[in-house]
Structure 1
Amino acid sequence: MNILIIHNYYQVRGGEDAVVENEKKMLEDRGHLVYTFFIHSKEIKEYRFTDKLLLLPRIVYNEKILKKIKKNIAGKKIDIVHIHNIWPLVSPSVFFLFNKLNIPYLQTIHNYRYLTANALLYKDDVRPPGNRLVIKRRKYNCYKSSWILTFMYWLTARLVRFSQVINKGCGGLQVLNHFGYSVHSQIFNPDSLYIRGNFLPISIVNLMGKRPKGDYYLFIGRLSGEKGIETLFKAFKALETESVLKIAGTGPLSEKLRSQYEADISIEFVGFVSGTKKNNMIAAAKALIIPSEWHEVFPITLLEANFCFTPVIASRIGGLPDMIIENKTGLLFESGDELDLKNKLQWCEENPELLKQMGDASRKYAEKHFGEEENYEHLIMIYKKLISRFKGLSK
């Protein structure tokens, strides 16, 4: 199969960038011919004055990028296009292009940008039944403190939604979990949506093994309000334990939290960690804690914990319940409820052997559901469905 992958890299490297690179290698390793059109947002810093003036309208529709893509694929047989991030340089113009060229395409939705300009969906933005969207009004500068960029991103999302360019064309959208399906099916045709999560490459999984457990719990992530970090601190401080809480990461609350808790011997701030050090720290933890108070999409750290034989204690929000079998591979608590989290931690303290069994079960679950081979087969199935569906419509 000949595949074109399109992705707009972020100025600061993020998880989406790694997902794109892993998928590219996965496809190439299995004999597919993969073409790429990658562009980096950091290029904006080198723009000439005229290009900077044109940047804002190009966020919505970028004719210059279309010309580059046409040149890139000229003379090549493309079976399907896989699109990832389109903001800010690729723009929705690619959807119109491939509709015109009659080439089927799939976009992976990695966040909630089609719902809100800052791409974050908070707890109060969704209500039962059926995860009904009741998105609260955002600040006019909620994206990078810029009202202009916030408006342009909002406008771009509205163009895709209300033009129905994907529904009316030969495209599809991939969401990462059932929660993503439930919210995006409220703004897109459900028939255009496919569910497929992320994976960890075999090369990375092979480096992850079982290690003796230390006497600590672990949080890895951005130190910010929506991550539920303050709820975690309150719950842990109410816990009767000799265990330590290790905090790996940085963010806007770093200074505040350090000033409050750094003198506390039960809490250890280790800063940003990555690579082997990160894997070893996860593998030796009693449990990884994900106390988010926004609708997490598909945190890779949860997969990493599972493959390291480490159970996860996570808030019952967003895509997290999709990734955990409650009381078997991990524990769930009500988001923002420090007492519920404290009780789950207390259970861990009182049941160390059962906690280790959860870690073993989480590894087996990850091998079955978050491995490379299973993910590859699922992706190819989606590609074939899209290609077949388009051929049926074009007859």
Structure 2
Amino acid sequence: MKILMVNKFFYIKGGSETYYFSLKKLLEQHGHEVIDFSMKDKRNFPSDYSEYFVNNVDYNDKNTILKKIQLAKNIIYSTEAKTKFENLVKATRPDIIHLNIFQHQISPSILDVIKKYRIPTVYTAHDLKMVCLNYKMMSHGKICEKCMHGHYFQCLKNRCVKDSFVKSSINVIEGYVHKFRKSYDSISTIITPSLFYKKKLEQFGIEKERIVHIPNFLESDTECIQIPENLKKYYLYFGRLSEEKGVLTLIKAAVKSKIEMYIVGTGPLKERLEKYIDKNKIKNVKMLGFKSGIELKTLVGNSKAVILPSEWYENGPYSAIEALQLGRPLIGSDLGGIPELIFENKNGYIFKNKDISDLKKCFDKMENLNASEYQKMERYSKDIFDKYYTSKVYYKKIFKVYSDLLI
């Protein structure tokens, strides 16, 4: 089977790329041919199809007015992406197209090519862009669902995209253009990593017959670290340091609980969090910066529990799956797909999002577990991973999706 996979970044930038390259490897291991389509970047991994990639786009660069106008146009509809994608389709003749994140830098223009050649297409919804113009159904620090059923003018009214009238306007135009053109109708099947996202897309008007819930996966045969029993003395957050992740709430709860907390990652909130810790002379919270590879895995594997304090509709976070793989209990907020990862307090606890006192209660409960109770949580986390999140489980499900589309 030939699968043309699309993702706008071709290096590990986040969860979508972790998924992309893991799935690419998995499919190739099973004898399928994977064709890449992405954006050019000096950080990219090698690809036999890089000549077809779109030119690099960085919306954070300082650009001339003329360049900004061109970039705005490309968000709505990129003729370059459409042309290069069509050339790739004609050159490779794929059986299936599998879309990941493609909006903005590539744009929905490629959906016209899919429609033209009637190629069965799968879209993994890593975010909520299909129904929410700023991806995350969050506006000015609060959950927002005002654009339900395509009422995109609400995005402009509330300046939902980076609190900018201009950027919100561009996204509103993009939303209405592709709503009226029915661009997304060319997607045959939508995969949601969380059941919550499946229900949310249905609530926003996507036909339930088009949506399949398949949790993300990790390779289960990767080398696992040894976990010394006497090192489970700290709790861990690892991921992006941004407002919607709830890290400030986490720090405040950790201070009240007096537990040892490690924070791993980087992002726009990094300096603010460091200043808060320094100003308040907080000693039990340590900012460790960006970590990856075996260093990160060691930190995860030796933690007492991994914390997911998100204050937005999280999907199926890889940080949680990586924690489960290493048998780590979880403490997570009650939003999005996070509660699906915590089974009736058997492998962790759920707290009310933004509620410092409720999160503190979860820390207290974890601290009061005896050795036997805690070990049961560890085993249950590992059992959950083996049952739902391995590559073997995922391949069976994704192969069925592909096969059903080719009948």
Report the TM-score range of the alignment, normalised by the length of the smaller protein: 0.7 to 0.9
Judged with a 3 Å threshold, the aligned counterparts in structure 2 of structure 1 residues 40 and 94 are, in CA distance, closer, same or farther, namely: same
Counterpart among 57, 69, 93 of residue 44 in structure 1: 57
1:287: how far off? 0.5
Q: Percent identity?
A: 26
Q: Are 2:354 and 1:336 aligned?
A: yes
1:29-84 CA distance string (max 9 Å, x none): 11001111222477136999987653322322222222212222325342111111
- Corresponding residue for residue 99 of structure 2: 83
Cα distance change, pair 209–149 in 1 and its aligned pair in 2 (3 A): farther
CA distance in 1 between partners of 2:247 and 2:150 (Å): 25
The question of 1:125 aligning with 2:144 is answered: yes
1:9 aligns to 2:9 (yes or no): yes
How far apart, in 1, do the equivalents of 2:338 and 2:245 lie? 13
In structure 2, the partner of 1:180 is 197
Q: 1:254 is matched by which residue type in structure 2?
A: K
For the Cα contact (< 8 Å) 1:91–1:156, is it kept in 2? no
Q: How far apart are the structure 2 equivalents of 1:336 and 1:48?
A: 41
Aligned counterpart, 2:188: 171
Deviation at 1:366, TM superposition (A): 0.5
Q: Name the SS of the counterpart of 1:331 in structure 2.
A: strand
> Residue 90 of structure 1: CA displacement?
2.2
Structure 2 unaligned spans of 5+ = 42-54
> Any gaps of 5 or more consecutive residues in structure 1?
389-395
Q: Aligned equivalents of 2:3 and 2:31: distance in 1? A: 11
8 Å contact from structure 1 (residues 84, 108) kept in 2:
yes
Indicate which of 302, 310, 328 corresponds to 1:292: 310
- Structure 2 contact 3–95 (Cα < 8 Å) conserved: yes
Q: Is the 8 A contact 1:37 1:69 kept in 2?
A: yes
Structure 2 residue aligned with 1:391: none
Give the aligned partner of residue 18 of structure 1. Answer: 18
Among candidates 316, 323, 332, match of residue 314 of structure 1: 332
Residue 195 of structure 1 pairs with residue 213 of structure 2? yes
- The corresponding residue for 1:114 is 130
Cα drift, residue 11 of structure 1: 9.5
SS in 1 for 2:38: strand
Q: Relative to structure 2, which stretch is displaced further, 263-272 or 105-114?
A: 263-272
Segment of structure 1 superposing worse, 37-46 or 101-110 = 37-46
CA shift for structure 1 position 323: 1.9
Q: What's the CA shift for 1:289? A: 0.9
SS of residue paired to 1:39: coil
Distance 1:176 1:67, change over 3 A: same
CA distance in 2, matches of 1:8, 1:65: 11
Looking at structure 2, the residues matched to 208 and 371 of structure 1 have their Cα atoms a distance apart, in angstroms, of 18
Query: 8 Å contact 2:155–2:161 — kept in the other structure?
Result: no
- In the TM superposition, residue 164 of structure 1 has moved relative to its aligned partner by 3.1
Q: Secondary structure at the match of 1:44?
A: coil
Is 1:379 aligned to 2:407, yes or no?
A: no
Give how far 1:305 is off. Answer: 0.7
Contact 1:81 1:105 in 2 (8 A): yes
What is the rounded CA distance, in whole Å, between the counterparts of 1:257 and 1:107 in structure 2? 36
User: Match of 2:132, SS?
Assistant: coil
1:67 is paired with a residue whose SS is helix
Match of 2:260 in 1: 244
More divergent stretch after superposition (102-111 vs 12-21): 12-21
Deviation at 1:146, TM superposition (A): 4.8
Structure 1 match to 2:33: 33
Matching residue within 73, 82, 91 for 2:89: 73
Amino acid at match of 1:339: S
Structure 2 distance, partners of 1:166, 1:124, is 24
1:215 and 2:215 are equivalent in the alignment:
no
**Letter of the structure 1 residue corresponding to residue 395 of structure 2:** Y
Mark the CA change 1:339 to 1:13 in structure 2 (over 3 Å): closer, same or farther. same
* Mapped partners of 1:134, 1:229: distance in 2: 31
Q: Deviations over 1:174-220 (max 9, x none)?
A: 222111011111232222212122111245x3335544233111111
Instruction: Determine the structure 2 residue equivalent to 1:359.
Output: 378
Structure 1 equivalent of residue 321 of structure 2: 303
- Paired position in structure 2 for 1:393: none
Distance 1:12 1:345, change over 3 A: same
| Contact 2:190/2:210 (<8 A) preserved | yes
Cα distance in structure 2, aligned partners of 1:292 and 1:247:
14
Contact 1:102–1:170 (8 Å) recurs in 2: no
> What CA distance in whole angstroms lies between the structure 2 residues aligned with 1:273 and 1:373?
28
Q: Distance in 2 between matches of 1:325 and 1:162?
A: 42
Amino acid at match of 1:340: D
- Higher alpha-carbon deviation: 79-88 or 223-232: 223-232
CA contact (8 A) 1:166 1:172 kept: no
Counterpart Cα distance in 2 of 1:192 and 1:29:
28
1:227-257, CA deviations, whole angstroms, 9 ceiling, x for partnerless residues? 1222222222222x5x411122233433333
| Distance in 2 between residues matched to 1:321 and 1:230, nearest whole Å | 20
Q: Is the 8 A contact 1:225 1:253 kept in 2?
A: yes
- Code of the aligned partner of 1:119: Y
Distance of aligned partners of 1:151 and 1:207 in 2 relative to their CA distance in 1, 3 Å threshold:
farther
256 and 215 in structure 1: CA distance in 2 versus 1, 3 angstrom threshold:
same
> What SS does the corresponding residue of 2:6 show, helix, strand or coil?
strand
Give yes or no for contact 2:149–2:205 (8 Å, CA) kept in 1.
Answer: no
Q: Which stretch has the larger CA shift, 117-126 or 298-307? A: 117-126
